[in-house]
Structure 1
Amino acid sequence: MLANVLLVLAVLSAGVVYGVDVFFAVVGRPALAASDERAIANVMAHLHWVADARMPTFGALAVLSTAAVAAMNPLGSLSSGLAIAALAGLLVQLGLYLTVAKPVNDAMKAATQQGTPLDNPRALQNRWDSVIVGRAIAMTWAMACLLVTGALH
């Protein structure tokens, strides 16, 4: 019973991150590419303020509950392997976020907080955009592995 609850928690929390990353890969990236630089700087800075405060809860829940699902299944079982594969996808997404996207978020937020215009909002957004498809793919992998794990139960 606990394993099923943890699996549901993993799917729901990872699903939030998955939805955000896929949305930005499919909709946000092309929309921002067509936007002017002042709009990019303003809107994305404010989105990052909110997202950076709220999204870590979902990401941490996804990682912890997925790791727990892996640990609760017999080592070497298909369910354990799939949960470990899902965890790998979550960690790839997190790594891309921490090394590429978060520094961009921080730069945009700092400029907004200080009331200073960014001199390179499009370059910053392009850097952020450079990993969003990879993040979405990693989250798609994680979600697929979690869902197949659930189907095996």
Structure 2
Amino acid sequence: MPIAIAISATLAILSLAVIFGTDMSVAVVQRAVYRELDDRTMVRVVGRGHFYGDRRFPVIGIGGTIATAATVVLAFVGVSPQAGTLAAAGLVLLLIWLALFARIAKPINAVLTAAADAGETPSDARALQDRWESIIVPRAILLGLAIALLCATLFLV
């Protein structure tokens, strides 16, 4: 059983790390770049980024979520309540991240993707991007903490 937990936690960590790295890159670098762009260019760049991200990241995110949930179950059943609790706390943080993404970022992604595809610049483009960016640091923190909790789970295996 410990090897199954180690495998599921490692898969979860690797999957979530991809998304965490992307969120950190946006928080630390890309936000500054987007501020330097005119609205039309910003919509084109951000919209195209969301076009590809919203099509490619779900497989990674779903895989990471499933692996995290599997880690929770395996840890509670096979190791200890402490390991299960750590993994469960990581899953809760991941689900909060997902709720933020689904309620705030995803709808904005759709608007900016459609605008980029149509070659249009919404009059509220900058406000939309500001709203999207307003949750990127919390999202990165949530994923970073979830990954740390999964790593801590491995210490108890």
Fold shared by both chains (TM-score > 0.5): yes
Aligned twin of 1:69: 71
Aligned twin of 1:48: 50
The farther-off stretch of 92-101 and 28-37 is 28-37
Aligned twin of 2:89: 85
Query: Which one-letter code corresponds to 2:82 in the other structure?
Result: L
CA offsets per residue over residues 106-126 of structure 1, 9 Å max, x none? 001111223333222211110
Displacement, 1:55? 0.7
**Cα RMSD between the aligned structures?**
1.4
Query: Which one-letter code corresponds to 2:148 in the other structure?
Result: A
Q: List gaps (5 residues or longer) in structure 2.
A: none
Counting aligned pairs with the same residue, the percent is 35
Query: Which one-letter code corresponds to 2:52 in the other structure?
Result: V
CA offsets per residue over residues 16-47 of structure 1, 9 Å max, x none? 11111111111122221222211210100000
Count residues in correspondence.
153
Superposition TM-score, scaled by structure 2 size: 0.91
Query: Which one-letter code corresponds to 1:119 in the other structure?
Result: S
Aligned twin of 1:31: 33
Query: Which one-letter code corresponds to 1:68 in the other structure?
Result: A
Query: Which one-letter code corresponds to 2:41 in the other structure?
Result: A
The farther-off stretch of 56-65 and 29-38 is 29-38
The one of 138, 150, 153 aligned to 2:154: 150
Query: Which one-letter code corresponds to 1:56 in the other structure?
Result: P
Moved segments of 4+, more than 4 Å? none
Superposition TM-score, scaled by structure 1 size: 0.94
Aligned twin of 1:125: 129
